[in-house]
């Protein structure tokens, strides 16, 4: 997995700015990279057979979607957000920090991907996640080219946590923020209004109730 990430980092750095990231060629690169050296799971694979697997090793193109009512959850699942007050903040190594209301977030060009979530030893489900490209948000904020990581924080308050991801995962859009799942609004227990979707990472890193994105240099 580290070799593949290194490859995509080198490849992306060879193109000018974020313009390449949103080109048709970039989509081809992402697809090829995502499927390199992975185990192709056959149609009909049972989710319970995947709870001991590493999602980074699996090609899930043939998997059916798990019905929303069959989703399980771990960790915080009762946080309430007042959308009249909630803002998505983008800060850190950016030229102009910004804040977006929920109505502005869902008006942005959407990302929609089928991604497998595995909580090791507990449950797995495969879902169609819809949300926003964090790379585009960083572009809007004028991200510093020296930024190497992105930190997600949520929920705001005493139960706040954070998760950090490599910038190449953000640029490849294998890590993004979801506001919907299986063509429905993201349920509160699954992280409304925004949660991290991180292809190839265990579910414990899919932070829920995200309110802040911070560009960071390690």
Query: pLDDT digit string (tens) for 36-69?
Result: 679 999 999 999 999 999 999 999 999 999 999 9
Residues with Cβ within 8 Å of residue 95, at least 6 apart in sequence: 141, 142, 143, 144
Q: Where are the domains of the chain?
A: 2-216
Beta bridge partners of 197: 176
**Pairwise CA distance, residues 211 & 31, whole Å:** 29
Residue pLDDT, tens place only, 79-93: 999 999 999 999 999
> Other C-beta atoms within 10 Å of 157: how many?
9
The H or E element spanning position 215 is: strand 212-216
CB-CB contact of 216 with 149 (8 Å): yes
Helices (H), the chain: 2-13, 24-34, 102-105, 134-141, 167-171
The CA angle 166-184-132, to the nearest 5 degrees, is 30
Mean pLDDT computed over every residue of the chain: 89
Q: What is the pLDDT of residue 37?
A: 77
Q: For the segment 163-207, what is each residue's pLDDT rounded down to a tens digit?
A: 999 999 999 999 999 999 999 999 999 999 999 999 999 999 999
pLDDT at position 32 over 90: no
Could you tell me the CATH superfamily of domain 2-216?
Oxidoreductase, molybdopterin-binding domain (3.90.420.10)
d(CA 77, CA 1): 30
């Amino acid at each position: 997995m580290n070799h593949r990430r290194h490859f995509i980092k080198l490849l992306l750095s060879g193109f000018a700015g974020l313009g390449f990231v949103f080109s048709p060629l970039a989509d081809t690169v992402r697809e090829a990279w995502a499927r390199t050296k992975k185990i192709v799971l056959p149609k009909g694979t049972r989710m319970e057979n995947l709870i001991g697997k590493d999602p980074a090793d699996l090609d899930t193109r043939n998997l059916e979607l798990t019905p929303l009512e069959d989703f399980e959850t771990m960790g915080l699942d009762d946080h309430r957000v007042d959308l009249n007050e909630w803002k998505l903040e983008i800060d850190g190594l950016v030229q102009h920090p910004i804040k977006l209301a929920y109505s502005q977030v869902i008006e942005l060009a959407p990302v929609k991907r089928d991604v497998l979530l595995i909580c090791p030893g507990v449950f797995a489900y495969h879902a169609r996640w819809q949300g926003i490209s964090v790379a585009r948000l960083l572009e809007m904020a004028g991200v510093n080219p020296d930024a190497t990581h992105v930190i997600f924080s949520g929920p705001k308050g005493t139960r706040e946590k954070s998760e950090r991801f490599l910038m190449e995962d953000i640029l490849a859009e294998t890590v993004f923020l979801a506001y919907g799942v299986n063509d429905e609004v993201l349920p509160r227990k699954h992280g409304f209004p925004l949660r991290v979707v991180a292809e190839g990472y265990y579910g414990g890193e899919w932070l829920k109730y995200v309110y802040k994105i911070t560009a960071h240099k390690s």
